[in-house]
Each structure stands twice: as structure tokens, then as C-alpha cells.
Amino acid sequence: MLAYALLAGVIFGLYFSLVGMGLNLVFGVMRIVNLAHGDVLMLGAFAAFWLFNLLGLPPLAAAPIVFVVAVAIGWPLYFLFVPRLLRARDPEMLSIIFFFGLSQVVVALATIAFGTNERSIPGRVLGSGPVHILGQSYPAAWVVSGAVSAAAVVLVTLYLYRTRLGTTTRAVMVHREEALATGIDVHRVSAIAFGVGLGLAAVAGVFAPFMMGSVRPAMGADINITSFTVIVIGSLGNPLGTVLGGIVYGIALMVMQSYFSSWANLLPYLLLIGILLIRPTGLLGRTLRHA
């Protein structure tokens, strides 16, 4: 059972990496806390649900569409709101309040539009039958979701470490003032990172029906807790630390569900409190810069 839990933990860990990646990218570049992150994921999930049910579009085809749409929405949204937040005396706190409000609006509108019923997409659309890995059997939907998450993580790594835009994005993460002084168009770089952050959340949403069983308009709050746990474990402001955080969280969750299932729902909170008390900079231990 332990081997099954550990491998399932890695699969879910890769997915949780994707869930937290966008939030951490946005925080890393802009030092703002997007509390509507979970709601963007929820919108991605509903987009996948409706694209499948209305157009018969499978999630693997929906994912790139949802990503592009989220990036396209994120770009103007950034210029509409974020520069104003960044000009505030305490942008981190103001962003928490602002995005909390935005989150409430999104949930209310989604509830009006979609109702409160839980929705799901049949797992078989991502492959039928179990997939055997190292002698263990897992639903194909889990494995495909984990593989897509791993691919997304690789693409984000390539974007950050192998492109000029990615290098300037990391420069903004390292020192925003120095980036400005060097002539980096910080708002352009940030707007792209904001759009990509929303896009990653939306893509994670596409696979939420398979990894979380079902989707509903109010799921964003739970997603936020999971995302914060994952990125705090890895390292706040370090998108690649999210991968480590995701896998640690995924394995811990699966082991808990296997051996202490009734306690599993407490796990995000316990991990969050534990890591903040023991190692507040996260396992990768990056020192935070201040906004």
C-alpha cells in the first residue's frame, strides 16, 4: 500500500505543482497575492466541462484553448488593476483585499451561471483502463493529468531559463527596482507573467474534474489553501520550488489518505502551519525580497 501511495503522491504532486505554479509566478514577479487564483482554476474547470459537453471537445484539446483565453484575459486585467495595486504603500496587503473581493464576485457570478451542483467529466475521456507503473495500477486520467502537469512545468522552466523574456522575468523577480533601472519594460514582463499565471491555473482547472472528482463554483477557496501550502513548502516567489512543494504535498496527502483517511483534510493546514513555524522561507530557503 505504501508503494501505491508514494507513486500516487508523485502523480498528484505533479498536478499540485501545476495548481500552485501560476500563483507563485504571479507572487514572484509582482509580489501580489492573487486570492482569485482558485477561482480562475474553477473557471478553467467549467470551461473544460462545457467544451466537452457542448462541443465534445476532450480536455487535452481544451487545455491549450483555455490557456490562450486566460492569457488573453490576464493581459488587460493586469493593466486595469495591478499597476494601481503596486503603487500602493502596502501592495501585498492591498492585493489580498482586492483579489478576495474579486474572488467573491467571480464565485457569485459562477454560482448564478452554473448553479451549485457538482459537475464532472468521465475519466474515460483521458483513456480507458488502468495504467501500470512499477507494479501499481492507476486510473489513466490521473496519469495523463500528471503527465500534462509535468509537461507544463517543463514548459515554464524553458520559458524562465531558455528565453530572453524568461531571463528578464527572473530579473524582475530578483530585483524589481534594478530591473527598471536596467531598462526592462517591467509592466510588459509582469503582464505576460500575470497572463501565464492565470493560464496555468486555468489549465490546472481543465484536469480538476479528474484529480478532484468534481468541480463546483465555490471550490476556489480550497484550491487556494492547497496552492498556498504547496508554494510555501517549496519557496514563496520561486516558481520551480513549487514542484518540490507539490510533490511533498502530494505524497503527504496520499500517505495520509491511505493510512489516516479521516485526518487527510487537515493536512494542508497542518503542513502550512508546520512549514511556517519551522522553515518560513520554504524548503528551497530563498530569502524573500520585499515589494
184 binds another protein (CB under 8 A): yes
In contact, 204 and 19? CB cutoff 8 Å: yes
Query: Judged by CB under 8 A, which of 100, 178, 259, 270 binds another protein?
Result: 178
Is-contact 244 234, C-beta < 8 A?
Answer: yes
Q: Which stretch binds another protein (CB under 8 A): 45-53, 60-68, 175-183, 264-272?
A: 175-183
Among 1, 80, 181, 277, binds another protein (CB under 8 A): 181
Decide: is 174 part of the binding site for another protein (CB under 8 A). yes
Nearer to another protein, 119 or 170 (CB): 170
Is the separation of the CB atoms in 177 and 290 below 8 Å? no
The three cell numbers locating residue 61: 484539446
| Beta carbon of residue 288, minimum distance to another protein (angstroms, whole number) | 12
By beta-carbon proximity to another protein, the closer residue of 166 and 209 is 166
Q: Which of 2, 68, 97, 180 binds another protein (CB under 8 A)?
A: 180
Name which of 63 and 186 has its Cβ closer to another protein.
186
- Name which of 22 and 237 has its Cβ closer to another protein: 237
- Among positions 87, 162, 164, 290, the unique one binding another protein when judged by CB under 8 A: 164
Residue 284 as a binder of another protein (CB under 8 A): the answer is no
Residue 56 is a binding residue for another protein (CB under 8 A): no
Q: Which is nearer to another protein, 6 or 94 (CB)?
A: 94
- As measured in angstroms, the least distance from the Cβ of 98 to another protein is 22
Query: Rule CB under 8 A: is residue 168 a binding residue for another protein?
Result: yes
As a whole number of angstroms, the distance between CA 110 and CA 117 comes to 11
Report the nearest approach of another protein to the CB of residue 237 (Å).
Answer: 11
Q: Pick the stretch among 47-55, 173-181, 217-225, 244-252 that binds another protein (CB under 8 A).
A: 173-181
- Contact between 108 and another protein by CB under 8 A: the answer reads no
Side-chain half-sphere CA neighbours of 89 within 13 A: 0
Q: How far is the CB of 188 from another protein (least distance, A)?
A: 9
User: CB of residue 173 vs another protein: minimum separation in angstroms?
Assistant: 8
CB of 177 to another protein, least distance (A): 8
DSSP for the chain reads -HHHHHHHHHHHHHHHHHHHHHHHHHHHHH----TTHHHHHHHHHHHHHHHHHHH---HHHHHHHHHHHHHHHHHHHHHHHHHHHHTSSSHHHHHHHHHHHHHHHHHHHHHHHH-S--B---GGGG-SSEEEETTEEEEHHHHHHHHHHHHHHHHHHHHHHHSHHHHHHHHHHH-HHHHHHTT--HHHHHHHHHHHHHHHHHHHHHTHHHHSS-B-GGGHHHHHHHHHHHHHHH-TT-TTHHHHHHHHHHHHHHHHHHH-GGGGGGHHHHHHHHHHHH-TTTTTTPPPPP-
Q: Which is nearer to another protein, 106 or 184 (CB)?
A: 184
Q: CB 88: neighbour CB atoms within 10 A?
A: 14
Question: Measured from the CB of residue 180, what is the shortest distance to another protein in angstroms?
Answer: 6
Which stretches of the chain bind another protein, using CB under 8 A? Answer: 164, 167-168, 170-171, 174-175, 177-185
